[in-house]
């Protein structure tokens, strides 16, 4: 019984094999290419010579088309459909075949429900057709892998990882995989306390603003740094740092850039031809940005290169890219 799904209707299709010959260990999500309601979906699968275990209408309501104990005719692969619960989702009839928020929310709940009832600890998506059947590594599949079709459409296909993530959050508890250490940067002007234990532990030290830390454990919004615990509210996670050293450098540059930019803006504002400005001019000459001439001649030359307005535009874009322009979004 689908315990997260309320008010689902049942209209069993004859296009099925009873019972399925393999335990459920996979989920396959499809798009129906049309913003259909559940009643239309039920009628469709009575005559279409195909079926699915579940269908989700545009309003988020659910229809049971083939009982989960049976194999649906859905993914152009008997082997897949014998082990997968298949779900058809009402979608746009045009590229990228988007599903609306009602369907999305129901889909997440339904997938979590399926996982719980079939003892699937976690949904795993790698986007790798080569992993079909290796459910320990990937337990979601796509119709396009089995037939020359675009199903489930790029909207869903490109979000299968996000769907897995949201389902896994609903499943709650510790993920089946061990915790993956990650890097994060301290974002606290006055520094960040490192404590012997989360929340109330004794303060061991304070990490300066901008310090890059490796978090090796998490516990209730606190992260372990190898030395002690820090509040993760003040850690900016560095996403998918493939080369930690390189990533560390680039993010430090970002933080440093903001400080330099603030200084430079002040100097420009004060119209102060300081050593810093001289260095910048020399750099422009040395790096070939200005051909020939010396740093001293730069002042006369640079106006030929671009107007001050253009320069401001370039700097503004760069500053924005580096995170040195405060966002107007007050919620951040
Ligand atoms: Zn399909």
Tell whether the model's pLDDT for residue 248 goes beyond 70: no
Please give the distance, rounded to the nearest whole angstrom, from the Cα atom of residue 143 to the centre of ligand 1.
5
Residue 15 lies in a domain: yes
What is the reported pLDDT for 304? 54
How many whole angstroms separate alpha carbon 304 and alpha carbon 306?
6
Bond into 96 cis (ω within 30):
yes
How many whole angstroms separate alpha carbon 66 and alpha carbon 246?
51
- Domain harbouring 141, CATH code: 3.40.80.10
Q: How much of the chain exceeds pLDDT 70, in percent?
A: 70
**Same structural domain, 151 and 197:** no
- Written as six digits, the tokens of 179 are 């915790």
Dump pLDDT digits (tens) for 127-144: 999 999 999 999 999 999
Dump pLDDT digits (tens) for 92-104: 999 999 999 899 9
**Exposed, middle or buried, 42 (CB in 10 Å: 0-12/13-18/19+)?**
buried
Task: Please count the structural domains in the chain.
Answer: 3
Please give the distance, rounded to the nearest whole angstrom, from the Cα atom of residue 75 to the centre of ligand 1.
6
Please give the distance, rounded to the nearest whole angstrom, from the Cα atom of residue 266 to the centre of ligand 1.
59
Residue 110 lies in a domain: yes
Using a CB cutoff of 5 Å, list residues around ligand 1, an ion. 30, 143, 151
Average of per-residue pLDDT across 50-72 = 97
**Same structural domain, 28 and 164:** yes
Domain that includes residue 200, residue range: 182-237
H or E element at residue 256: helix 244-270
How many whole angstroms separate alpha carbon 139 and alpha carbon 85?
11
Average of per-residue pLDDT across 57-70 = 96
**Same structural domain, 315 and 223:** no
**Same structural domain, 160 and 188:** no
Residue 177 lies in a domain: no
**Same structural domain, 218 and 273:** no
Per the DSSP assignment, residues forming a β-bridge with 222 are 219, 231
Coil, strand or helix at 214: strand
**Same structural domain, 85 and 226:** no
Please give the distance, rounded to the nearest whole angstrom, from the Cα atom of residue 148 to the centre of ligand 1.
10
What is the reported pLDDT for 300? 54
**Exposed, middle or buried, 41 (CB in 10 Å: 0-12/13-18/19+)?**
buried
- Domain harbouring 229, CATH code: 2.30.30.40
Q: What is the pairing mode between strands 192-195 and 222-224?
A: unpaired
What is the reported pLDDT for 293? 57
Please give the distance, rounded to the nearest whole angstrom, from the Cα atom of residue 158 to the centre of ligand 1.
15
How much is the mean pLDDT over the chain?
Answer: 83
**Same structural domain, 79 and 221:** no
- Written as six digits, the tokens of 4 are 């997260």
Q: Do 87 and 52 meet the contact criterion of CB atoms below 8 Å apart?
A: yes
Please give the distance, rounded to the nearest whole angstrom, from the Cα atom of residue 74 to the centre of ligand 1.
6
Residue 3 lies in a domain: no
Q: What is the DSSP letter of 280?
A: H
More confident residue, 314 or 62: 62
Average of per-residue pLDDT across 269-297 = 58
**Same structural domain, 73 and 194:** no
Please give the distance, rounded to the nearest whole angstrom, from the Cα atom of residue 198 to the centre of ligand 1.
47
- Written as six digits, the tokens of 219 are 């516990």
H or E element at residue 100: none
Three-class SS of 14-57:
CCEECCCCCCCCEEEEEECCECCCHHHHHHHHHHCCCCCCEEEC
Tell whether the model's pLDDT for residue 249 goes beyond 70: no
Residue 332 lies in a domain: no
Tell whether the model's pLDDT for residue 247 goes beyond 90: no
pLDDT range class, residue 5, cuts 50, 70, 90: confident
**Same structural domain, 152 and 276:** no
pLDDT range class, residue 69, cuts 50, 70, 90: very high
Tell whether the model's pLDDT for residue 1 goes beyond 50: no
Tell whether the model's pLDDT for residue 174 goes beyond 60: no
Tell whether the model's pLDDT for residue 305 goes beyond 60: no
Residue 60 lies in a domain: yes
User: Last residue of some domain: 215, 237, 259?
Assistant: 237
Coil, strand or helix at 149: coil
Q: Do 2 and 109 meet the contact criterion of CB atoms below 8 Å apart?
A: no
User: Last residue of some domain: 130, 147, 171?
Assistant: 171
How many whole angstroms separate alpha carbon 169 and alpha carbon 175?
9
**Same structural domain, 24 and 108:** yes
Residue 1 lies in a domain: no
**Same structural domain, 39 and 153:** yes
What is the reported pLDDT for 112? 95
Please give the distance, rounded to the nearest whole angstrom, from the Cα atom of residue 95 to the centre of ligand 1.
15
User: Last residue of some domain: 192, 212, 237?
Assistant: 237
Please give the distance, rounded to the nearest whole angstrom, from the Cα atom of residue 94 to the centre of ligand 1.
15
Q: In angstroms, how far is CA 92 from the centroid of its own chain? A: 23
Average of per-residue pLDDT across 215-222 = 83
**Same structural domain, 124 and 212:** no
How many whole angstroms separate alpha carbon 138 and alpha carbon 159?
15
Please give the distance, rounded to the nearest whole angstrom, from the Cα atom of residue 3 to the centre of ligand 1.
25
Least confident of 197-201, 202-206, 254-258: 254-258
Dump pLDDT digits (tens) for 15-40: 999 999 999 999 999 999 999 999 99
What is the reported pLDDT for 135? 96
Dump pLDDT digits (tens) for 142-161: 999 999 999 999 999 999 99
How many whole angstroms separate alpha carbon 175 and alpha carbon 99?
27
Residue 327 lies in a domain: no
Tell whether the model's pLDDT for residue 241 goes beyond 50: no
């Amino acid at each position: 019984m689908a315990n997260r799904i309320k008010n689902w209707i049942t209209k069993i299709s004859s296009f099925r094999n009873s019972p399925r010959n393999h335990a459920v260990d996979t989920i396959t999500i499809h798009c129906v290419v049309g913003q259909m309601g559940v009643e239309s979906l039920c009628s469709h699968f009575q005559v279409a010579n195909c079926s699915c275990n579940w269908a989700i209408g545009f309003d988020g309501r659910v229809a049971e088309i083939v009982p989960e104990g049976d194999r649906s005719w859905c993914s152009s692969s008997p082997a897949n459909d014998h082990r997968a619960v298949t779900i058809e989702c009402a979608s746009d009839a045009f590229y990228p075949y988007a599903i609306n928020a009602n369907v999305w929310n129901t889909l997440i709940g339904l997938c979590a429900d399926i996982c719980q009832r079939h003892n699937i600890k976690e949904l795993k998506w790698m986007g790798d057709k080569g992993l079909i059947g290796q459910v320990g590594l990937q337990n979601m599949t796509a119709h396009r892998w089995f037939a020359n079709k675009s199903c489930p459409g790029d909207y869903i296909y490109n979000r299968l990882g996000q769907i897995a993530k949201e389902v896994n959050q609903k499943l709650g508890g510790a993920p089946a995989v061990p915790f993956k250490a990650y890097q994060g940067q301290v974002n606290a002007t006055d520094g960040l306390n490192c404590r012997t234990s989360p929340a109330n532990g004794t303060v061991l030290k304070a990490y300066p603003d901008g310090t890059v830390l490796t978090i090796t454990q998490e516990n209730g919004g606190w992260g372990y740094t190898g030395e002690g615990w820090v509040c993760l509210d003040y850690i900016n996670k560095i996403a998918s740092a493939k080369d930690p050293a390189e990533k560390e450098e680039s993010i430090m540059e970002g933080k440093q850039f903001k400080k330099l930019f603030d200084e430079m803006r002040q100097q420009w504002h004060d119209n102060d031809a300081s050593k810093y400005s001289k260095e910048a001019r020399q750099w422009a000459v040395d790096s070939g940005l200005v051909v020939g001439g010396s740093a001293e001649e730069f002042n006369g030359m640079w106006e030929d290169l671009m107007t001050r307005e253009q320069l401001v535009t370039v700097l503004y874009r760069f500053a924005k890219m580096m995170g040195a322009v405060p966002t107007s979004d007050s919620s951040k």
